[in-house]
Structure 1
Amino acid sequence: MAIRSKIDFVEATRLTRLGRLDEAMAVLRGSLAEPRHADMPPDVDEGATSFVDLLPPSAETGSAWTAPGVPSPAQPGTANSPTGLWIEGLLDLVRNRKPASGRDAGISGITTPVPTARDAHFEERSFVNEAGRRAYKLYVPGSFDGEPLPLLVMLHGCTQSPDDFAAGTRMNELAEEHTFLVAYPAQSHDANASGCWNWFNAGDQRRDRGEPSLIAGITRQIMSDFPVDPERVFAAGLSAGGATAAIMGATYPDLYRAIGVHSGLACGAARDMPSAFAAMRQGGNPAATGASHRTGGRIVPTIVFHGDGDRTVHPLNGAQVVAQVAAQVHAEVKLGTTVTSGQTPGGIGYTRQVQSDETGRSVLEHWVLHGAGHAWSGGSASGSYTEPRGPDASREMVRFFLQDSPPPAGG
């Protein structure tokens, strides 16, 4: 059965919209004995609000994820308050929807046709250990010739599926271009009703435990089945998947040589549901939670993308991901910093901060996307949670990951 939270998110949203923030936070902490529905507007169908689907960013929604039937940021109303927008965005984290019977027999979620190059394979596989079972899809490019090649593990966001994430990021096209494997683990709806990776659970932030052990197990299974270069194994993700990618870099620095975090949070930014809400609203506090970036003395190069108009995960979290990794740099290692800015043809401005070592190799990159919301930058509209007008995050991540690699044959 799906794990259900005892917190009444609908009630928390209602109280927030009414400006009763203390009571809303009490609901989030599960401390109110009975939710009060007396103040619910008469035109609200309470039975229809057991979960909330979010609408993607657009000009009408002010580049924010919003719920159907509620005022957009461009309209008057209590939903325009930062706290109201925050609480609606948080509903994407743990919507209380019960999965259909047998839903986790294979990969579920949004089904999106994914183009496959000639002679390429996009196959469904699975991995099992003591923490459970996870299905995943693996893209093997048609350009694969049997030589050792890189592996990129892509972690989807809430409500997404491997097919949807592959279509939105167009990562398979880049895998064909640069000849690397791409794995897309699928979160089980029995583990999270919305298909979110449980980045906010303390038990899912530890090496060889919980979801990190499953993702690492998938990675190692592929490395056993295919000739993978162990020096070129990477992980990246969006939103909850981005937060989980940060966890993988922190807990398995010996396995992942670099990570990419898009619209995510630092490892240990939260340890439970209430602290997850707080971190998403105003930024986390990994040091206060006792989390550590367990790199064994080696820094895990990291590239971060975050929209400064993100109303689901506060953009401060992107800076905290960078700061957490930078804290692992030894005092004797000096990183040079350069800052550039620009604007895409689609009209999205950006600021890019690069920290490089003495060889000129990029170790940390932080892309701030001006006005962009909670969506994969430069992604395809054929997938969900994408902002096609932004810089191409997929291509920039691949460039960052493969910066020390020789060019592909014929390239």
Structure 2
Amino acid sequence: MAVLLLAALSVVAMSSPARAAATPQEVTGFGSNPGNLRMFRYVPPGLAGGRPVVVAMHGCTQNAAAYAANTGWMRLADTYKFSVVFPQQQTTNNMNACFNWFEAGDTRRGSGEALSVKQMVDRTKRDNGSTSAYVSGLSAGGGMTSAMLAAYPDVFSGGGIIAGLPYGCANSVASAFTCMSPGVNKSPKEWGDKVRAAFPSYSGRRPKVSIWQGTADSTVKTMNTTELMEQFTNANGTDQTPDTTDTVGGYPHRVYGGTVETYQITGMGHGQPVDPGTGPAQCGTPAPYILDMNICSAYHLVRFWGIDDSAPPTPTGTSTPTPSSTPPPYSDTVIGTATDHYVARRITAAEYTKLGAAHGYNTSVPLYQCTAGWTDKADCSPL
């Protein structure tokens, strides 16, 4: 019966994955590996020291190679110069190769699968000189991402939860079903307390969290978007009123306190959104539960985390300046005032014109491109 129940937590295995220019290589001897996971890693040729490491976790019945090939992470690693670790579950741990996001022994700090993933990050930092780490995952991998962000806020600077679940929502297969559908309603403080309890002595900065959910997802109900937002806004010390409400790629997007964001992908079922193509904001190849929605989630995670440049990012656990008079710089539309607009550094004049037409912005207003970690208008230059 447990095996049959676990099958319902799965996403369908990918068939005929797209051919990639390179494939992740297996790494052994990365630690005690109490969760009995396998480690695969992609390192772009000539990667300089100090660049980040991103952990990308597959869903049930998937594997590292197929997830890497179809989600676009390796192409982004080549473009923005970071390494990617692809943990792989084994059927000896879970019949459907699900990460055990609902098992306390696998999600606690210092034990089980969570510790195995952390050891993969440690190994990559030693090998490549990485100073920061980020974690993302789909479905069961998204549930495990919540666990990693809660248990290891001193390791990860940011996370991406795609069709995932709040940390501490379930402690058994049966309760996992309830979390997935219809969802579990708790107050922001109740959810935040679960995160804080995962590492009670921690008092540093907590990771930025990006939450993605399809509005037509019948496997993980959309209620989980709200519960995840409440959990991580409360843990990060901000409220549940968005500071930014806009659209990105035509989809509703909200930002809370500059540390948590949500994407609601209209009409998308259970899966991870991609946008096939060769454009700078495109990535991914459609496959079962890797869905062409004309928006590449991995690309936008890289942008939100602030690792879409060639400069070493701020190491985990240190503070970064807050803009003195304007919102944080990340936006795919435009942010600012009626007289000044600010955007991430890679927007072009043509893109600004296109966005202005799409969203009703006055493109005659001066546009400034700002450097990563900007603190003042002096750090920005006119487009």
After TM superposition, the score normalised by the length of structure 2 is 0.70
User: Which of 23, 26, 38 pairs up with 1:135?
Assistant: 38
Match of 1:208 in 2: 110
Query: Larger Rg: 1 or 2?
Result: 1
User: Which of 350, 375, 400 pairs up with 2:271?
Assistant: 375
CA deviation map 1:346-376 (0-9, x unaligned): xxx41000124xxxxx311100111111111
On the 8 A contact 2:274/2:286 being kept in 1, the answer is: no
CA deviation map 1:124-168 (0-9, x unaligned): 113452624321211111241x32211000011011111111122
Give the AA of the match of 1:327.
N
CA deviation map 1:33-71 (0-9, x unaligned): xxxxxxxxxxxxxxxxxxxxxxxxxxxxxxxxxxxxxxx
Secondary structure of the structure 1 residue equivalent to 2:288: coil
Secondary structure of the structure 2 residue equivalent to 1:366: strand
| Cα displacement (A) at 1:109 | 8.3
Residue 401 of structure 1 pairs with residue 294 of structure 2: no
Match of 2:259 in 1: 363
Between the aligned partners of 1:180 and 1:365, the Cα distance in structure 2 is: 22
Cα separation, partners in 2 of 1:403 and 1:335, compared to 1, 3 Å: farther
Match of 2:359 in 1: none
Query: 5 Å matches for 1:80-159?
Result: 91-93=7-9, 112=17, 114-116=19-21, 122-126=24-28, 127-129=30-32, 131-144=34-47, 146-159=48-61
Give the AA of the match of 2:17.
T
On the 8 A contact 1:167/1:383 being kept in 2, the answer is: no
User: Which of 100, 117, 127 pairs up with 1:198?
Assistant: 100
Match of 1:389 in 2: 293
Match of 1:44 in 2: none
Match of 1:269 in 2: 169
Between the aligned partners of 1:267 and 1:195, the Cα distance in structure 2 is: 20
Percentage identity across paired residues of the two chains: 27
On the 8 A contact 2:18/2:285 being kept in 1, the answer is: no
Match of 2:323 in 1: none
| Cα displacement (A) at 1:389 | 2.1
Give the AA of the match of 1:355.
Y
Match of 2:336 in 1: none
Between the aligned partners of 2:227 and 2:240, the Cα distance in structure 1 is: 20
Query: 5 Å matches for 1:166-245?
Result: 166-229=68-131, 232-245=132-145
Query: 5 Å matches for 1:328-347?
Result: 328-330=235-237, 337-341=243-247, 344=249
| Cα displacement (A) at 1:383 | 3.9
Secondary structure of the structure 2 residue equivalent to 1:166: helix
Count of aligned positions: 296
**Unmatched runs of 5 consecutive residues or more in structure 2:** 276-283, 313-345, 347-383
**Unmatched runs of 5 consecutive residues or more in structure 1:** 10-89, 96-107, 357-361
| Cα displacement (A) at 1:396 | 0.1
Q: CA RMSD in A?
A: 2.9
Cα separation, partners in 2 of 1:399 and 1:252, compared to 1, 3 Å: same
| Cα displacement (A) at 1:337 | 0.8
Query: 5 Å matches for 1:284-299?
Result: 284-285=184-185, 287=190, 291-293=194-196, 294=198, 296-297=202-203, 298-299=205-206
Between the aligned partners of 2:214 and 2:298, the Cα distance in structure 1 is: 15
Between the aligned partners of 1:188 and 1:111, the Cα distance in structure 2 is: 20
On the 8 A contact 2:210/2:262 being kept in 1, the answer is: yes
Between the aligned partners of 2:117 and 2:7, the Cα distance in structure 1 is: 25
| Cα displacement (A) at 1:340 | 0.6
Between the aligned partners of 1:221 and 1:171, the Cα distance in structure 2 is: 19
Match of 2:228 in 1: 321
On the 8 A contact 1:168/1:382 being kept in 2, the answer is: yes
Between the aligned partners of 1:289 and 1:190, the Cα distance in structure 2 is: 33
| Cα displacement (A) at 1:91 | 3.5
Give the AA of the match of 2:151.
T
After TM superposition, the score normalised by the length of structure 1 is 0.65
Cα separation, partners in 2 of 1:275 and 1:223, compared to 1, 3 Å: same
Cα separation, partners in 2 of 1:329 and 1:130, compared to 1, 3 Å: closer
| Cα displacement (A) at 1:318 | 2.0
Between the aligned partners of 2:120 and 2:15, the Cα distance in structure 1 is: 22
Give the AA of the match of 1:320.
E
On the 8 A contact 1:164/1:384 being kept in 2, the answer is: no
Between the aligned partners of 2:302 and 2:139, the Cα distance in structure 1 is: 18
Between the aligned partners of 1:391 and 1:132, the Cα distance in structure 2 is: 33
Cα separation, partners in 2 of 1:329 and 1:134, compared to 1, 3 Å: closer
Give the AA of the match of 2:91.
H
User: Which of 158, 161, 166 pairs up with 1:258?
Assistant: 158
| Cα displacement (A) at 1:207 | 0.2
Match of 1:162 in 2: 64
On the 8 A contact 1:138/1:183 being kept in 2, the answer is: yes
